[in-house]
Chain A
Amino acid sequence: MALEIDGLAVLCAIAETPEAFPAIRSDVTKAAHALVTKQLKAKTLDLPGLRAVRSALGPQPLALIVDGLKDAEAKALVIRLDKHHPDLKDGPAVAHRRHLMALAADLDPVAAPAAKAKPAKAPAKPKPAAKAAEPPVEVPAAAEPAPPARPTPAKARAPARGKTAPADALASAAMAARPPRRPRQQE
Protein backbone atom coordinates (compact mmCIF):
# COMPACT_ATOMS: atom_id res chain seq x y z
CA MET A 1 0.00 0.00 0.00
CA ALA A 2 1.34 3.44 -0.91
CA LEU A 3 2.45 5.62 1.96
CA GLU A 4 2.85 8.79 -0.06
CA ILE A 5 1.49 10.25 -3.27
CA ASP A 6 3.56 10.06 -6.42
CA GLY A 7 4.13 13.80 -6.82
CA LEU A 8 5.09 13.57 -10.47
CA ALA A 9 2.01 11.54 -11.28
CA VAL A 10 -0.19 14.06 -9.46
CA LEU A 11 1.42 17.00 -11.27
CA CYS A 12 0.95 15.20 -14.60
CA ALA A 13 -2.70 14.61 -13.75
CA ILE A 14 -3.19 18.31 -12.90
CA ALA A 15 -1.50 19.34 -16.15
CA GLU A 16 -3.60 16.93 -18.20
CA THR A 17 -6.93 17.84 -16.60
CA PRO A 18 -6.69 21.51 -15.50
CA GLU A 19 -10.49 21.81 -15.63
CA ALA A 20 -10.63 19.62 -12.55
CA PHE A 21 -8.47 22.08 -10.62
CA PRO A 22 -9.86 25.56 -11.42
CA ALA A 23 -9.22 27.01 -7.96
CA ILE A 24 -5.47 26.48 -8.14
CA ARG A 25 -4.81 27.83 -11.64
CA SER A 26 -2.67 30.75 -10.46
CA ASP A 27 -0.99 28.58 -7.83
CA VAL A 28 0.13 26.22 -10.57
CA THR A 29 2.07 29.05 -12.22
CA LYS A 30 3.63 30.04 -8.90
CA ALA A 31 4.50 26.42 -8.10
CA ALA A 32 6.02 25.89 -11.54
CA HIS A 33 8.15 29.00 -11.07
CA ALA A 34 9.23 27.91 -7.61
CA LEU A 35 10.11 24.37 -8.68
CA VAL A 36 12.23 25.37 -11.67
CA THR A 37 13.86 28.22 -9.74
CA LYS A 38 14.84 25.75 -7.02
CA GLN A 39 16.32 23.43 -9.63
CA LEU A 40 18.32 26.30 -11.15
CA LYS A 41 19.61 27.34 -7.75
CA ALA A 42 20.58 23.79 -6.75
CA LYS A 43 24.28 23.49 -5.96
CA THR A 44 24.37 20.28 -7.98
CA LEU A 45 23.20 21.91 -11.21
CA ASP A 46 25.90 21.69 -13.84
CA LEU A 47 25.93 22.69 -17.50
CA PRO A 48 24.43 19.42 -18.82
CA GLY A 49 21.78 19.82 -16.11
CA LEU A 50 20.96 23.36 -17.28
CA ARG A 51 20.74 22.17 -20.87
CA ALA A 52 18.45 19.32 -19.80
CA VAL A 53 16.15 21.84 -18.07
CA ARG A 54 16.06 23.96 -21.24
CA SER A 55 15.40 20.94 -23.37
CA ALA A 56 12.55 19.88 -21.08
CA LEU A 57 10.90 23.31 -20.79
CA GLY A 58 11.77 25.00 -24.07
CA PRO A 59 13.72 28.24 -24.42
CA GLN A 60 10.98 30.77 -23.62
CA PRO A 61 9.72 29.33 -20.32
CA LEU A 62 13.31 28.97 -19.15
CA ALA A 63 14.06 32.58 -20.19
CA LEU A 64 11.01 33.80 -18.24
CA ILE A 65 12.16 31.93 -15.15
CA VAL A 66 15.74 33.21 -15.54
CA ASP A 67 14.28 36.74 -15.78
CA GLY A 68 12.57 36.07 -12.45
CA LEU A 69 15.84 35.23 -10.68
CA LYS A 70 17.31 38.02 -8.61
CA ASP A 71 20.28 39.71 -10.27
CA ALA A 72 22.65 38.24 -7.67
CA GLU A 73 21.22 34.75 -8.19
CA ALA A 74 21.61 34.94 -11.96
CA LYS A 75 25.18 36.18 -11.56
CA ALA A 76 26.11 33.48 -9.04
CA LEU A 77 24.69 30.77 -11.28
CA VAL A 78 26.38 31.90 -14.49
CA ILE A 79 29.73 32.39 -12.76
CA ARG A 80 29.48 28.92 -11.22
CA LEU A 81 28.73 27.36 -14.60
CA ASP A 82 31.33 29.37 -16.51
CA LYS A 83 34.02 29.98 -13.94
CA HIS A 84 36.66 31.34 -16.27
CA HIS A 85 34.66 33.74 -18.41
CA PRO A 86 36.63 36.98 -18.32
CA ASP A 87 33.72 39.45 -18.48
CA LEU A 88 31.10 38.01 -16.17
CA LYS A 89 32.27 39.25 -12.79
CA ASP A 90 31.89 42.91 -13.69
CA GLY A 91 29.22 42.64 -16.37
CA PRO A 92 25.68 43.99 -16.06
CA ALA A 93 22.81 41.76 -14.96
CA VAL A 94 21.38 41.61 -18.46
CA ALA A 95 24.69 40.15 -19.71
CA HIS A 96 24.58 37.44 -17.02
CA ARG A 97 21.12 36.34 -18.06
CA ARG A 98 21.98 36.45 -21.76
CA HIS A 99 25.09 34.36 -21.24
CA LEU A 100 23.18 31.92 -19.06
CA MET A 101 20.63 31.43 -21.82
CA ALA A 102 23.40 31.10 -24.41
CA LEU A 103 25.09 28.44 -22.28
CA ALA A 104 21.79 26.62 -21.88
CA ALA A 105 21.30 26.68 -25.65
CA ASP A 106 24.91 25.55 -26.18
CA LEU A 107 25.52 28.70 -28.23
CA ASP A 108 28.42 30.02 -26.17
CA PRO A 109 31.30 27.78 -25.18
CA VAL A 110 32.45 27.74 -21.61
CA ALA A 111 35.60 29.81 -21.29
CA ALA A 112 38.80 27.87 -20.80
CA PRO A 113 40.85 28.70 -17.74
CA ALA A 114 43.38 31.39 -18.45
CA ALA A 115 46.95 30.08 -18.73
CA LYS A 116 48.63 30.49 -15.40
CA ALA A 117 51.27 33.15 -15.50
CA LYS A 118 54.65 31.70 -14.73
CA PRO A 119 56.01 33.07 -11.50
CA ALA A 120 58.54 35.76 -12.18
CA LYS A 121 62.06 34.64 -11.72
CA ALA A 122 63.48 35.58 -8.43
CA PRO A 123 66.03 38.34 -8.85
CA ALA A 124 69.52 36.99 -9.10
CA LYS A 125 71.38 37.09 -5.87
CA PRO A 126 73.72 40.03 -5.84
CA LYS A 127 77.22 38.95 -6.37
CA PRO A 128 79.50 39.52 -3.49
CA ALA A 129 80.83 43.00 -3.72
CA ALA A 130 84.11 43.24 -5.48
CA LYS A 131 86.84 43.81 -3.10
CA ALA A 132 86.97 47.56 -2.67
CA ALA A 133 87.18 47.99 -6.43
CA GLU A 134 83.80 49.68 -6.92
CA PRO A 135 81.77 51.72 -4.55
CA PRO A 136 78.95 49.71 -3.12
CA VAL A 137 75.78 50.09 -5.16
CA GLU A 138 72.94 51.22 -3.02
CA VAL A 139 70.17 48.69 -3.34
CA PRO A 140 66.80 50.23 -2.67
CA ALA A 141 65.03 48.61 0.16
CA ALA A 142 62.36 46.20 -1.02
CA ALA A 143 58.94 47.72 -0.69
CA GLU A 144 56.89 46.36 2.14
CA PRO A 145 54.51 43.75 0.80
CA ALA A 146 51.02 45.21 0.73
CA PRO A 147 48.70 43.65 3.24
CA PRO A 148 46.18 41.35 1.63
CA ALA A 149 43.15 43.34 0.50
CA ARG A 150 40.31 42.91 2.87
CA PRO A 151 36.93 42.22 1.37
CA THR A 152 34.85 45.35 1.57
CA PRO A 153 32.29 44.97 4.30
CA ALA A 154 28.82 44.56 2.90
CA LYS A 155 27.63 47.80 4.47
CA ALA A 156 30.33 49.83 2.73
CA ARG A 157 29.73 48.46 -0.76
CA ALA A 158 28.39 50.82 -3.36
CA PRO A 159 24.62 50.53 -3.36
CA ALA A 160 22.85 49.19 -6.40
CA ARG A 161 21.09 51.88 -8.44
CA GLY A 162 18.12 53.26 -6.59
CA LYS A 163 18.48 51.01 -3.57
CA THR A 164 19.33 53.59 -0.98
CA ALA A 165 17.82 56.97 -0.42
CA PRO A 166 19.97 59.91 -1.52
CA ALA A 167 21.61 61.93 1.22
CA ASP A 168 19.44 64.93 0.31
CA ALA A 169 15.82 63.95 -0.15
CA LEU A 170 15.23 66.96 -2.38
CA ALA A 171 18.30 66.45 -4.58
CA SER A 172 17.33 65.99 -8.22
CA ALA A 173 19.28 66.86 -11.33
CA ALA A 174 16.09 66.91 -13.41
CA MET A 175 14.17 69.24 -11.11
CA ALA A 176 17.17 71.58 -10.97
CA ALA A 177 17.67 71.44 -14.76
CA ARG A 178 16.54 74.38 -16.83
CA PRO A 179 15.57 74.20 -20.50
CA PRO A 180 17.62 76.29 -22.92
CA ARG A 181 16.19 79.60 -24.06
CA ARG A 182 14.07 79.18 -27.18
CA PRO A 183 15.39 81.15 -30.18
CA ARG A 184 12.37 83.43 -30.27
CA GLN A 185 11.37 83.30 -26.65
CA GLN A 186 10.02 86.60 -25.34
CA GLU A 187 11.21 87.98 -22.04
Chain B
Amino acid sequence: MTGKLVPGELVPGKLVAVANMKGGVGKTTSVVMLADALAAGGASVLVIDLDPQASASVCFAGDGILAEMITGGRTLDYYLGLRIVDRDKAALPDFIRDYVSSTTHLGEPLPISLLASGPSLRIVEREIIYALTKRKYSMHAIEGHLWKLFQEDFAPLREQYDYVLFDCAPGISPMTEVAIRASDLVVVACISDFLSTYGLKAFYETIWGVGSASESMLAPKRPPHVLITRWQNTKQQATTYATLQESAAAEGARFRLFKTRVPQSAALANALTLEYQTFANKYRDQTRDLIGEVITPVVTELKEALDGA
Protein backbone atom coordinates (compact mmCIF):
# COMPACT_ATOMS: atom_id res chain seq x y z
CA MET B 1 0.00 0.00 0.00
CA THR B 2 1.17 3.54 -0.55
CA GLY B 3 0.25 6.86 0.96
CA LYS B 4 -2.21 9.11 -0.77
CA LEU B 5 -0.77 10.22 -4.08
CA VAL B 6 -1.38 13.67 -5.45
CA PRO B 7 0.26 14.95 -8.63
CA GLY B 8 3.93 15.47 -7.96
CA GLU B 9 4.00 14.61 -4.27
CA LEU B 10 3.29 11.93 -1.75
CA VAL B 11 1.09 13.21 1.04
CA PRO B 12 2.23 11.56 4.28
CA GLY B 13 -0.41 9.67 6.20
CA LYS B 14 -1.75 10.74 9.60
CA LEU B 15 -1.02 9.18 12.95
CA VAL B 16 -4.08 9.05 15.20
CA ALA B 17 -4.04 7.72 18.76
CA VAL B 18 -7.31 6.63 20.35
CA ALA B 19 -6.71 6.74 24.07
CA ASN B 20 -7.94 7.23 27.61
CA MET B 21 -6.40 6.24 30.91
CA LYS B 22 -9.72 4.72 31.87
CA GLY B 23 -10.70 1.32 30.54
CA GLY B 24 -14.07 0.32 29.12
CA VAL B 25 -14.82 3.67 27.49
CA GLY B 26 -15.00 2.41 23.89
CA LYS B 27 -11.44 2.91 22.64
CA THR B 28 -11.31 -0.31 20.64
CA THR B 29 -14.85 0.15 19.34
CA SER B 30 -13.85 3.61 18.13
CA VAL B 31 -10.69 2.26 16.48
CA VAL B 32 -12.60 -0.51 14.68
CA MET B 33 -15.31 1.91 13.56
CA LEU B 34 -12.82 4.53 12.34
CA ALA B 35 -10.58 1.99 10.58
CA ASP B 36 -13.54 0.41 8.79
CA ALA B 37 -14.97 3.77 7.78
CA LEU B 38 -11.69 5.25 6.56
CA ALA B 39 -10.88 2.09 4.62
CA ALA B 40 -14.38 1.93 3.12
CA GLY B 41 -13.79 5.51 1.98
CA GLY B 42 -10.77 4.30 0.01
CA ALA B 43 -7.91 5.06 2.42
CA SER B 44 -5.25 2.55 3.39
CA VAL B 45 -5.32 2.07 7.15
CA LEU B 46 -2.88 0.48 9.56
CA VAL B 47 -4.09 -0.37 13.05
CA ILE B 48 -1.38 -0.72 15.70
CA ASP B 49 -2.63 -2.49 18.79
CA LEU B 50 -0.80 -1.23 21.88
CA ASP B 51 -3.02 -3.09 24.32
CA PRO B 52 -1.85 -6.46 25.73
CA GLN B 53 -5.50 -7.46 25.88
CA ALA B 54 -5.26 -7.54 22.05
CA SER B 55 -8.91 -6.56 21.59
CA ALA B 56 -8.37 -4.67 18.32
CA SER B 57 -6.18 -7.52 17.07
CA VAL B 58 -8.84 -10.15 17.66
CA CYS B 59 -11.56 -7.92 16.20
CA PHE B 60 -9.70 -7.64 12.89
CA ALA B 61 -7.78 -10.89 12.64
CA GLY B 62 -10.03 -13.28 14.53
CA ASP B 63 -8.84 -15.66 17.20
CA GLY B 64 -7.25 -18.25 14.88
CA ILE B 65 -5.18 -15.87 12.77
CA LEU B 66 -4.11 -13.92 15.85
CA ALA B 67 -2.93 -17.19 17.42
CA GLU B 68 -0.89 -17.85 14.26
CA MET B 69 0.63 -14.38 14.44
CA ILE B 70 1.58 -14.86 18.09
CA THR B 71 3.14 -18.29 17.63
CA GLY B 72 4.89 -17.05 14.48
CA GLY B 73 6.48 -14.16 16.37
CA ARG B 74 4.68 -11.60 14.22
CA THR B 75 3.40 -9.24 16.88
CA LEU B 76 4.36 -5.90 18.36
CA ASP B 77 5.65 -7.45 21.60
CA TYR B 78 7.97 -9.79 19.74
CA TYR B 79 9.26 -6.91 17.64
CA LEU B 80 9.90 -4.71 20.70
CA GLY B 81 11.67 -7.60 22.43
CA LEU B 82 13.97 -8.06 19.45
CA ARG B 83 14.66 -4.37 18.87
CA ILE B 84 15.01 -3.02 22.38
CA VAL B 85 15.70 -5.87 24.76
CA ASP B 86 17.90 -8.00 22.49
CA ARG B 87 19.18 -5.17 20.24
CA ASP B 88 18.60 -7.33 17.20
CA LYS B 89 17.79 -6.11 13.73
CA ALA B 90 14.13 -6.32 12.81
CA ALA B 91 12.10 -4.50 10.15
CA LEU B 92 8.75 -3.33 11.49
CA PRO B 93 6.88 -3.78 8.15
CA ASP B 94 7.66 -7.53 8.38
CA PHE B 95 5.43 -7.71 11.44
CA ILE B 96 2.43 -6.10 9.75
CA ARG B 97 -0.32 -8.23 8.25
CA ASP B 98 -2.05 -6.60 5.29
CA TYR B 99 -5.70 -7.11 4.33
CA VAL B 100 -6.43 -8.59 7.71
CA SER B 101 -10.11 -7.63 7.86
CA SER B 102 -12.78 -10.01 6.61
CA THR B 103 -15.14 -7.08 6.04
CA THR B 104 -15.84 -6.15 2.43
CA HIS B 105 -17.10 -2.99 0.81
CA LEU B 106 -18.45 -2.91 -2.72
CA GLY B 107 -17.15 -6.41 -3.28
CA GLU B 108 -13.58 -5.76 -2.15
CA PRO B 109 -11.90 -6.48 1.20
CA LEU B 110 -11.23 -3.37 3.25
CA PRO B 111 -7.58 -2.25 2.96
CA ILE B 112 -6.85 -2.59 6.67
CA SER B 113 -3.47 -3.78 7.93
CA LEU B 114 -2.67 -4.80 11.48
CA LEU B 115 0.31 -4.74 13.77
CA ALA B 116 -1.12 -7.09 16.35
CA SER B 117 -0.32 -7.34 20.01
CA GLY B 118 -0.52 -10.31 22.33
CA PRO B 119 -0.70 -10.94 26.05
CA SER B 120 3.11 -10.97 26.21
CA LEU B 121 3.24 -7.24 25.48
CA ARG B 122 2.78 -6.59 29.20
CA ILE B 123 5.82 -8.77 30.00
CA VAL B 124 7.96 -7.34 27.18
CA GLU B 125 7.27 -3.78 28.33
CA ARG B 126 8.53 -4.81 31.75
CA GLU B 127 11.55 -6.53 30.15
CA ILE B 128 12.34 -3.28 28.33
CA ILE B 129 12.44 -1.33 31.58
CA TYR B 130 14.63 -3.97 33.25
CA ALA B 131 16.99 -4.23 30.26
CA LEU B 132 17.44 -0.49 29.86
CA THR B 133 17.80 0.10 33.60
CA LYS B 134 20.51 -2.58 33.62
CA ARG B 135 22.24 -0.60 30.88
CA LYS B 136 22.18 2.39 33.29
CA TYR B 137 19.44 4.27 31.47
CA SER B 138 17.64 6.86 33.57
CA MET B 139 13.84 7.13 33.35
CA HIS B 140 14.22 10.07 30.97
CA ALA B 141 16.75 8.14 28.92
CA ILE B 142 14.32 5.20 28.63
CA GLU B 143 11.60 7.58 27.45
CA GLY B 144 14.06 9.11 25.00
CA HIS B 145 15.06 5.68 23.73
CA LEU B 146 11.43 4.73 23.06
CA TRP B 147 10.78 8.12 21.46
CA LYS B 148 13.77 7.62 19.13
CA LEU B 149 12.64 4.11 18.22
CA PHE B 150 9.17 5.43 17.48
CA GLN B 151 10.51 8.19 15.24
CA GLU B 152 12.82 5.80 13.42
CA ASP B 153 10.52 2.80 12.97
CA PHE B 154 6.88 3.78 13.51
CA ALA B 155 6.64 7.33 12.16
CA PRO B 156 7.90 6.31 8.67
CA LEU B 157 4.84 4.06 8.34
CA ARG B 158 2.93 7.23 7.49
CA GLU B 159 4.62 7.06 4.09
CA GLN B 160 2.95 3.71 3.43
CA TYR B 161 -0.52 4.24 4.88
CA ASP B 162 -3.03 7.07 4.72
CA TYR B 163 -3.91 6.57 8.38
CA VAL B 164 -2.12 4.82 11.22
CA LEU B 165 -4.49 4.28 14.15
CA PHE B 166 -3.11 3.39 17.58
CA ASP B 167 -5.43 1.50 19.90
CA CYS B 168 -3.87 2.59 23.18
CA ALA B 169 -3.81 0.55 26.35
CA PRO B 170 -5.63 1.98 29.35
CA GLY B 171 -3.26 2.98 32.10
CA ILE B 172 -0.77 4.51 29.63
CA SER B 173 2.19 2.19 29.22
CA PRO B 174 5.53 3.77 28.16
CA MET B 175 4.98 2.78 24.52
CA THR B 176 1.41 4.11 24.61
CA GLU B 177 2.63 7.43 25.96
CA VAL B 178 5.14 7.77 23.13
CA ALA B 179 2.44 7.02 20.53
CA ILE B 180 0.10 9.57 22.09
CA ARG B 181 2.73 12.29 22.15
CA ALA B 182 3.96 11.61 18.64
CA SER B 183 0.54 11.33 16.96
CA ASP B 184 -0.97 14.05 14.81
CA LEU B 185 -4.21 13.77 16.75
CA VAL B 186 -5.32 12.16 20.00
CA VAL B 187 -8.95 11.07 20.10
CA VAL B 188 -10.04 10.55 23.68
CA ALA B 189 -12.92 8.12 23.81
CA CYS B 190 -15.00 9.09 26.82
CA ILE B 191 -18.38 8.19 28.29
CA SER B 192 -20.38 11.21 29.32
CA ASP B 193 -20.52 10.33 33.00
CA PHE B 194 -18.85 11.37 36.22
CA LEU B 195 -16.10 8.74 36.45
CA SER B 196 -15.09 8.89 32.82
CA THR B 197 -14.76 12.66 32.75
CA TYR B 198 -12.86 12.45 36.03
CA GLY B 199 -10.47 10.07 34.26
CA LEU B 200 -10.27 12.58 31.40
CA LYS B 201 -8.91 15.21 33.82
CA ALA B 202 -6.19 12.81 35.01
CA PHE B 203 -5.34 11.89 31.44
CA TYR B 204 -5.10 15.54 30.42
CA GLU B 205 -2.79 16.38 33.29
CA THR B 206 -0.54 13.42 32.52
CA ILE B 207 -0.02 14.18 28.86
CA TRP B 208 -0.85 17.85 28.25
CA GLY B 209 -0.54 19.33 31.75
CA VAL B 210 2.13 21.75 32.90
CA GLY B 211 5.51 20.02 33.13
CA SER B 212 4.28 16.84 31.44
CA ALA B 213 6.59 17.23 28.45
CA SER B 214 10.29 16.65 28.86
CA GLU B 215 13.55 16.84 26.95
CA SER B 216 13.05 13.25 25.95
CA MET B 217 9.42 13.52 24.85
CA LEU B 218 7.47 16.41 23.39
CA ALA B 219 3.93 17.51 24.15
CA PRO B 220 1.32 16.38 21.60
CA LYS B 221 0.83 18.64 18.60
CA ARG B 222 -2.84 19.37 19.25
CA PRO B 223 -5.13 19.43 22.26
CA PRO B 224 -7.06 16.19 22.85
CA HIS B 225 -10.26 15.70 20.87
CA VAL B 226 -12.92 14.12 23.05
CA LEU B 227 -15.31 11.70 21.38
CA ILE B 228 -18.35 10.89 23.46
CA THR B 229 -19.01 7.17 23.34
CA ARG B 230 -21.75 4.91 24.66
CA TRP B 231 -24.11 7.86 24.60
CA GLN B 232 -27.49 7.36 26.23
CA ASN B 233 -29.90 10.20 26.54
CA THR B 234 -30.15 10.07 30.32
CA LYS B 235 -30.26 13.06 32.62
CA GLN B 236 -26.81 12.35 34.03
CA GLN B 237 -25.17 11.96 30.63
CA ALA B 238 -26.92 15.06 29.27
CA THR B 239 -25.76 17.16 32.25
CA THR B 240 -22.16 15.94 31.94
CA TYR B 241 -22.25 16.52 28.20
CA ALA B 242 -23.49 20.09 28.67
CA THR B 243 -20.54 20.77 31.00
CA LEU B 244 -18.10 19.28 28.49
CA GLN B 245 -19.62 21.39 25.70
CA GLU B 246 -19.29 24.53 27.78
CA SER B 247 -15.66 23.79 28.67
CA ALA B 248 -14.76 22.98 25.07
CA ALA B 249 -16.32 26.21 23.83
CA ALA B 250 -14.65 28.41 26.47
CA GLU B 251 -11.75 30.66 25.60
CA GLY B 252 -8.45 28.84 26.06
CA ALA B 253 -10.27 25.49 26.10
CA ARG B 254 -7.93 22.63 26.89
CA PHE B 255 -9.75 20.12 24.73
CA ARG B 256 -12.01 19.96 21.70
CA LEU B 257 -15.25 18.04 21.58
CA PHE B 258 -16.55 16.08 18.63
CA LYS B 259 -20.04 17.31 17.79
CA THR B 260 -21.15 13.79 16.95
CA ARG B 261 -21.73 11.36 19.81
CA VAL B 262 -21.38 7.62 19.40
CA PRO B 263 -24.49 5.97 20.83
CA GLN B 264 -24.69 2.92 23.02
CA SER B 265 -25.81 0.53 20.34
CA ALA B 266 -26.23 -3.16 19.81
CA ALA B 267 -25.24 -2.69 16.17
CA LEU B 268 -21.91 -1.24 17.26
CA ALA B 269 -21.30 -4.05 19.74
CA ASN B 270 -22.07 -6.58 16.99
CA ALA B 271 -19.65 -4.80 14.68
CA LEU B 272 -16.81 -6.01 16.90
CA THR B 273 -17.60 -9.63 16.10
CA LEU B 274 -16.68 -11.33 12.84
CA GLU B 275 -20.32 -11.98 12.07
CA TYR B 276 -20.85 -9.39 9.36
CA GLN B 277 -19.47 -9.59 5.86
CA THR B 278 -20.01 -6.11 4.50
CA PHE B 279 -19.32 -2.67 5.92
CA ALA B 280 -22.98 -1.76 5.28
CA ASN B 281 -24.25 -4.79 7.21
CA LYS B 282 -21.88 -4.21 10.08
CA TYR B 283 -23.13 -0.77 10.94
CA ARG B 284 -26.73 -0.77 9.84
CA ASP B 285 -29.58 -2.75 11.28
CA GLN B 286 -33.36 -2.51 11.57
CA THR B 287 -33.19 0.14 14.25
CA ARG B 288 -30.14 2.23 13.38
CA ASP B 289 -28.21 3.54 10.45
CA LEU B 290 -24.90 4.18 12.17
CA ILE B 291 -23.16 4.95 8.88
CA GLY B 292 -25.33 7.95 8.08
CA GLU B 293 -26.06 9.10 11.62
CA VAL B 294 -22.71 8.60 13.33
CA ILE B 295 -19.81 7.26 11.30
CA THR B 296 -19.88 9.65 8.35
CA PRO B 297 -20.06 12.79 10.54
CA VAL B 298 -17.37 11.47 12.95
CA VAL B 299 -15.00 10.77 10.04
CA THR B 300 -15.67 14.22 8.59
CA GLU B 301 -14.89 15.81 11.95
CA LEU B 302 -11.75 13.69 12.33
CA LYS B 303 -10.47 14.81 8.93
CA GLU B 304 -11.27 18.42 9.73
CA ALA B 305 -9.35 18.14 13.00
CA LEU B 306 -6.37 16.58 11.21
CA ASP B 307 -6.45 19.32 8.59
CA GLY B 308 -6.50 21.89 11.36
CA ALA B 309 -9.96 23.21 10.48
Contacts and interface: CB of A to CB of B under 8 A. Distances in A.
Contact of B78 (A30, A70, A182): A182
Contact of B107 (A26, A98, A184): A98
A78 interface: no
B107 to A, nearest CB: 5
Q: Which 5 A-B pairs have the closest CB atoms?
A: A173-B67, A174-B66, A177-B70, A67-B280, A68-B280
Given A63-B106, A64-B280, A98-B107, A179 B78 contact: yes
Given A94-B277, A182-B88, A183-B88, A26 B71 contact: no
Interface string B101-133: 000111101000000001110000000000000
A131 interface: no
Interface of A: 26, 29-30, 33, 60, 63-64, 67-71, 92-94, 97-98, 101, 160-163, 172-180, 182-186
Q: For this complex, into which size category does the number of interface residues on chain B fall?
A: 35 or more
A172 to B, nearest CB: 5
A184 B86 contact: yes
A30 B275 CA distance: 23
Interface in B28-84: 54, 57-58, 63-64, 66-68, 70-73, 75, 77-78, 81-82
Nearest to A100: B107
Contacts of B82: 182
B81 A182 contact: yes
Given A68-B278, A182-B81, A174 B70 contact: yes
- Best-surrounded residue of B54, B70, B75, B278 (most CB of chain A within 10 A): B278
Nearest to A171: B63
A101 B85 CA distance: 52
B293 interface: yes
Nearest to B75: A179
A93 B105 CA distance: 12
A173 B63 contact: yes
